Amino acid sequence: MTTTAGTTTATAAPAAAGISPAARAQRRRKVAMAILGWGVALIIFFPIFWMILTGFKTEADAIADPSLIFSPTLESYTEVQSRADYSKFAWNSVVVSFGSTLLALLIAIPSAYSMAFLPTRRTRGTLLWMLSTKMLPSVGVLVPIYLLFRDFGLLDTRTGLTIVYTLMNLPIVVWMLYTFFKDLPRDILEAGRMDGAGTLQEIWYLLLPLTLPGIASTGLLSVILSWNEAFWSLNLTTSQAAPLTAYIASFSSPEGLFWAKLSAASTMAIAPILIFGWLTQKQMVRGLTFGAVK
């Protein structure tokens, strides 16, 4: 919009005078919804905001009565940096999150394709069974997986953690892709087949380009889930493959004050994924509403 403030005021006044009650009610509803939306967003963001703020406090200020007025300091960041190699943990997080997402997509795209376009009697059951594995508490399979990892030499390796994250996210990735693929008209693929395209060409030249927003948002969600995962990373890594979740955990203390340092470490740990999420939010939203607009 290129209107100046003056022209907006000039045109807005007669428009407001002639506004119908229905339009006014709709406008009021819009304003109310906007306030509600902002309110919910603020509530969701408040813990993150408070964590960022606490990272800039001294340990004494961090445990004092909550206040927005304090002298900001970088001492917690300095302390946190001096005690652990952030870059090593961050690199492990990047490798494992993106590696597991790529692997999950590689497995899930053909699976979701077959389930969406070549369904059998048992497809629905298979999909539900895949999802049901997400309902199993992780700790229930900790010891068997730990023993397998020990025997295969995968403990404290990025390869091991990548495999676990891939398996952990696979049901969600398959489900999401299945939903996106199902929304694609079959006629398009059939037209391709009529023109002589094989299955791989069909996937590569038709399915993937047409469902790219959905694939992108699935991938982004998988990256975020892997980045934030704590149970397996704390249990299967020690020092070499430990990601940022282990980095955060190292600043909690049973004896002594630690909230400012923990907040500083947490802020540093979420910063990359927060920026990544912010940069890709358009694709995320577009992908997640992909089915709704069709």
Partner 1 sequence: MPHLSHPGSTARVCPALRKPLALLVGAAALTAGAAQAETITVATVNNNDMVIMQSLTEEFEQAHPDITLDWVVLEENVLRQRMTTDIATQGGQFDVMTIGSYEVPIWAERGWLQPLEDLPAEYQEGDLLKPVRDGLSHDGVLHALPFYAESSMLYYRTDLFEGAGIEMPEQPTWEQVRDWAETLHDPDSDVAGICLRGKPGWGENMAFVSTLVNTFGGRWFDMDWNPEINSEAWQNAISFYVDLMNNYGPAGATSNGFNENLALFSRGNCAMWVDATSAAGKLFNPDESTVADRLGFAPAPVAETPKGSHWLWAWSLAIPASSDAPDAARTFITWATSQDYVNLVGETKGWTSVPPGTRQSTYDNENYQQAAPFAGFVVDAINAADPLDSSLEPNPYVGVQFVGIPEFQAIGTQVGQMVASALSGETSVDQALSAAQRATERTMQRAGYLD
> Which of 156, 197, 228, 272 is in the footprint of partner 1 by CB under 8 A?
156
Q: Does residue number 59 form part of the binding site for partner 1 (CB under 8 A)? A: yes
Applying CB under 8 A, what is the total number of residues that bind partner 1? Answer: 29
Q: Measure the CA–CA gap between 116 and 99, rounded to whole angstroms.
A: 25
> Which of 249, 274, 277, 286 is in the footprint of partner 1 by CB under 8 A?
249
Contact 245, 269 (CB under 8 A): yes
Q: Does residue number 238 form part of the binding site for partner 1 (CB under 8 A)? A: yes
DSSP letters of the chain?
----HHHHHHHHHHHHHT--HHHHHHHHHHHHHHHHHHHHHHHHHHHHHHHHHHHTS-HHHHHSS--S------HHHHHHHHHS-HHHHHHHHHHHHHHHHHHHHHHHHHHHHHHHHS--TTHHHHHHHHHHGGGS-GGGGHHHHHHHHHHHT-TT-HHHHHHHHHHHHHHHHHHHHHHHHHTS-HHHHHHHHHTT--HHHIIIIIIHHHTHHHHHHHHHHHHHHHHH--HHHHHH-SSSS--HHHHHHTT--SSS--HHHHHHHHHHHHHHHHHHHHHTHHHHHHHHTTTTT-
Binding track over 114-133 against partner 1, x by CB under 8 A: --------------------
Q: Choose the binding region for partner 1 from 97-105, 126-134, 150-158, 272-280 (rule: CB under 8 A).
A: 150-158
Q: Choose the binding region for partner 1 from 45-53, 129-137, 209-217, 233-241 (rule: CB under 8 A).
A: 233-241
Give the nearest distance from C-beta 69 to partner 1 in angstroms: 17
Nearer to partner 1, 63 or 130 (CB): 63
Give me the sign of the Cα torsion angle 34, 38, 39, 41. Answer: positive
Q: Does residue number 253 form part of the binding site for partner 1 (CB under 8 A)? A: yes
Give the nearest distance from C-beta 105 to partner 1 in angstroms: 25
Q: Does residue number 255 form part of the binding site for partner 1 (CB under 8 A)? A: yes
Nearer to partner 1, 195 or 255 (CB): 255
Give the nearest distance from C-beta 183 to partner 1 in angstroms: 35
Q: Choose the binding region for partner 1 from 33-41, 108-116, 182-190, 246-254 (rule: CB under 8 A).
A: 246-254
Q: Measure the CA–CA gap between 153 and 156, rounded to whole angstroms.
A: 9
Q: Measure the CA–CA gap between 161 and 186, rounded to whole angstroms.
A: 37
Token pair of 212 as six digits? 């790219």
Q: Does residue number 66 form part of the binding site for partner 1 (CB under 8 A)? A: no
Give the nearest distance from C-beta 239 to partner 1 in angstroms: 5
Give the nearest distance from C-beta 48 to partner 1 in angstroms: 21
Q: Does residue number 250 form part of the binding site for partner 1 (CB under 8 A)? A: yes
> Which of 258, 272, 286, 288 is in the footprint of partner 1 by CB under 8 A?
258
Q: Does residue number 252 form part of the binding site for partner 1 (CB under 8 A)? A: yes
Q: Measure the CA–CA gap between 56 and 39, rounded to whole angstroms.
A: 25
Q: Choose the binding region for partner 1 from 3-11, 108-116, 144-152, 266-274 (rule: CB under 8 A).
A: 144-152
Query: Which residues bind to partner 1, rule: CB under 8 A?
Result: 59-60, 63-64, 83-84, 142-143, 146-147, 150, 155-156, 234-235, 238-239, 242, 246, 249-258
